[in-house]
Structure 1
Amino acid sequence: MYECFLEIAYEAELNTKEDPELLAAASEICNENPATRATAITELRKMIFERGQCKPHRTDDAFLLRYLRARNFIVPRAHKLLVRYCSFREENEHLYKGVDLWSLMKVNDAYEGIMFDRPDVGRLSIFRFGTWDPSEFPVEDLVRAGMAMTEIGIRQPKLQVLGGSVIVDMEGLTLRHISTLTPTVAYQIVSLMGVSMPARMKTCHIINYSWLLNTFFYLFKKFIPQQAWDKIFFHGSDLKSLHQHIDPECLPPRYGGTCRNHGSFRKWLQKIKQYRDEQFDREMKALGYDVKE
């Protein structure tokens, strides 16, 4: 039964259509008003051309809507986010330009997704960098996978509205891992978690850490915006503390939860490849990815 539900969830990852239930949630979560939505999109598009601070590869309604939803339909804030997104892409072309999208399956368990989205948690993503062997592939591939995962995720209207939560599980993290995390890599990871992407991050939870946390977090904290600090929680190995923020119904058994609709980044990307359509290939190629058959 769980496999059946999971398969349906994977197939739905490529759904870019909106439904009445989603629009009702968008009104409550994103301050989206169907009566004024088109006006806000037009205003954002006008701001892009008048200010000339960025040259996005797209300016169609569906694309601009992502930025408005991510910033509660406050047009100047949405524009500021779009400028950051364009700047990030210009500064980090190596993270996507000519990257073989399917080759990123090598990342495997370093990212894990819970295919059980709901308004209070959104999409739950789990970072398990301790499962990564630095001798197999460079840290840049972890960032490339994170960027591809975000770009694919924000195509889906449901995730634009619901956003997501993140668990950073530091179990297995060693000095060998930490040594690969340069300030540049830390900046890139923070940018992908919502600073430079139209993604709504609800909360971030740090678990299973040791004294290495000080070194790990020192690299990241200077890139984290002040307003994001109230969304970051430290739980150590206390699962009860984690459960106060994330319902065990949304967590895999590893964290004392009951959710079995979860899978590795490898499996998720395999399913994206299986269910993708021409529109998906077209959009990902426009972003710079190499999408092979």
Structure 2
Amino acid sequence: MTTQREPGDGRLDPGLTAIMSERRHLINLAYRLLGSLADAEDVVQETYARWYALTPQQQDAIDSPGGWLTTVASRICLDLLGSARARRERYVGEWIPEPLPDRTEWINGRSGGNTVDPADRVTLDESINMAFLVVLEAMTPAERVAFILHDVFRYSFADIAEIVGRTPAACRQLASSARRRIRAPQVPATPAVQRTDLVRDFKQAWEAKDIDALIGLLDPDVTTIADGGGLASAELRPVEGSEQVARAFVEIAGRTPDLTILERTVNGQPGLVVQQEGVTVTVLAFDVAGDRIKHIWAVRNPEKLRPWT
């Protein structure tokens, strides 16, 4: 790589511009690998720290800075995924991936005097919907990295092999195994309009505390999982069955009558945001199978609600 460094002339180093242009790609990659925007941002920060720890001569010797950054970020994610099991064992209750709002709903923060908008950097496609991310959680770290890099970001197995430290053939097998996990629970996709209508009907039945209406919208084997992380009240175990789930939501509405329930896009899918005195306290993501709601994920951990509050 050849760069033109002209300190003091007020112009941005073109090499720096090229390096920083990779940031959106790295955020997208790390979020899908880790299921956490906060962790993804930490990974990207660490990746750039390692780049700037290189000497100018070392940087110039790298033919593809973007490829170097992707390799380093992927390896950091692989290490984090390897230690995630131990960290999850210490986590209070169930762990759910961090929900993302639609870019129009993002509430900007500030860092270093500049407006920061990660929603502009995370592409809201099928590979970030909550059901997809939850299935990824069941994969081994190597499966997850091989699958995301190949099937989502279209990296070759030869490139992936360098990242995970295995042969291209082994990486192909990892991605194939991960693909089977993704496909196993799939049912024919429900049209977007029908998903939106189901979530809207759920909201209205919940607000009306109508148990029968809620039961009619839920799959008999529906599962609800809540994530409070020990920082907000939440069921420590999944609630299963349409009647049990319906009663749980009606009880919540009865205990906290001042809740405001809003229809919002959550990880690219129809979802709900629950506010109390103007503050977001819960984000609900839904998985729809046919004409019923199959899964509900309720994120209440305030550390995972930064973009919403």
Q: TM-score, normalised by structure 2?
A: 0.25
Larger Rg belongs to = 2
More strand by share: 2
Q: Which has the higher contact order (CA 8 A, sep 6+)?
A: 1
Q: TM-score, normalised by structure 1?
A: 0.26
More helix by share: 1
